[in-house]
Amino acid sequence: MKTFDVYPLFNITPIKAEGSWLWDDQGRKYLDLYGGHAVISIGHKHPYYVDALSQQLNKISFYSNSVVIPQQEKLAHLLGELSGCSQHNLFLCNSGAEANENALKIASFVTSRKKVVAVKNSFHGRTSLAVAATDDEKIQAPINRNEKIEFVILNDLNELANAIDENTCAFIVEGIQGVGGIQLPTTEYLQFAQECCKQNGALLIIDEVQSGYGRTGKFFAHQHAAIKPDLITVAKGMGNGFPIAGVLIDNGIQAKHGMLGTTFGGNYLACAAGIAVLEIIKNENLISNAEIVGNKWINELIAMPGVKEVRGRGLMIGIEMEFPVSPLRKLLLEEHGIFTGSSSLANTIRLLPPLNITENEINIFNMAFVKAVNKQLIVK
């Protein structure tokens, strides 16, 4: 048997990692500024994280949710404390797609409605409802296409006002669009969305799968707009590589047995990973670091050659160039040993490094970036 050919692969085999760095099987060192789609939030192989998982593995690694798992309550308490969302309850699952799937189900359960309003150029995952609310027909099988989903343009208030009505169960929007090229909802837009949902009895779902967990200088990106969503979805940076995700559910939404369920969600190891990540973020002031070094970095990038626009907050950054970035990313990887991310926009690079990245590591990128851009401009 062979693995199913899903992704085009770099001819690189990482075998070791530490902090913001990777080493391949040839001994070459790479600066990791993508973290596997924003997953590596506290750096690779953080000793506190490794120790927490090792200790848990030596006790008990798994049992089903039919028993009391105190680590779930500890994780929920810490998450509420650090995020400021203690007015929500936590449902634990395994991936961002699963989190969004459950958030949409909850909205439909609560409202007894079917219509969902989503945003163009969105990405919410690849499971049935999540991919239906994702504006990309290439990843939707015919069975996923859903006439109950209506797409609107990001930051267009009129379109939103016309779309959210008495038949709408939920409006779902990313805190910052990731795959869509680091596109930011305005404060006015998010506040207007909250008001539209309230007026029509719909629920507001903020997808913080990529933009959450301190990446933007606040725990969640939507907190820059001072709103309080009914449902918030989290994943990626939540476990620093261990599969864990969740839905933060407003405590006004009543839980009912059988409404939601999961086999692996909230297992001992996942909770150990999630607790360690939160404790490291808190103890090392990583949200503050993301804001300070990230916003400084954004200002530095704006002044660099070939850069058309820089979008983002903190350490969620999109660099839009005057030309397609695929050759530039290849140069950065092959000649300078730096991993960066792509987006649905051919001209935009995504940077999603660990929250504990240092200014020295940023300077390494900046120098390599200028060299690579200048070489690319000469080639053009």
Mean pLDDT in residue range 252-279: 97
The residues spanned by each domain of the chain are 22-46+285-363, 47-283
pTM of the model: 0.97
Find, among 161, 128, 122, 158, the residue nearest to 142 by Cα: 128
Cα–Cα distance measured from residue 172 to residue 143, given in angstroms and rounded to the nearest whole number: 21
Q: What is the pLDDT of residues 121-170, one digit of tens each?
A: 999 999 999 999 999 999 999 999 888 999 999 999 999 999 999 999 99
Cα–Cα distance measured from residue 123 to residue 190, given in angstroms and rounded to the nearest whole number: 17
Give residue 380's pLDDT. Answer: 60
Cα–Cα distance measured from residue 118 to residue 189, given in angstroms and rounded to the nearest whole number: 13
Output the six-digit token pair for 233: 């979805």
Shared fold status for 22-46+285-363 and 47-283: no
Give residue 117's pLDDT. Answer: 98
Q: What is the pLDDT of residues 48-68, one digit of tens each?
A: 999 999 999 999 999 999 999
- pLDDT bin (cut points 50, 70, 90) of residue 378 is confident
Which residues are bridge partners to 18 per DSSP?
21
Cα–Cα distance measured from residue 275 to residue 74, given in angstroms and rounded to the nearest whole number: 7
Give residue 146's pLDDT. Answer: 85
**Strand segments (E) across 149-255:** 149-152, 168-174, 203-207, 231-234, 245-250
CATH class of 22-46+285-363: alpha beta
Mean pLDDT in residue range 241-251: 98
Cα of 140 vs its chain's centroid, Å: 20
Cα–Cα distance measured from residue 155 to residue 187, given in angstroms and rounded to the nearest whole number: 9
CATH class of 47-283: alpha beta
Write the DSSP symbol of residue 222.
Answer: G
Give residue 6's pLDDT. Answer: 93
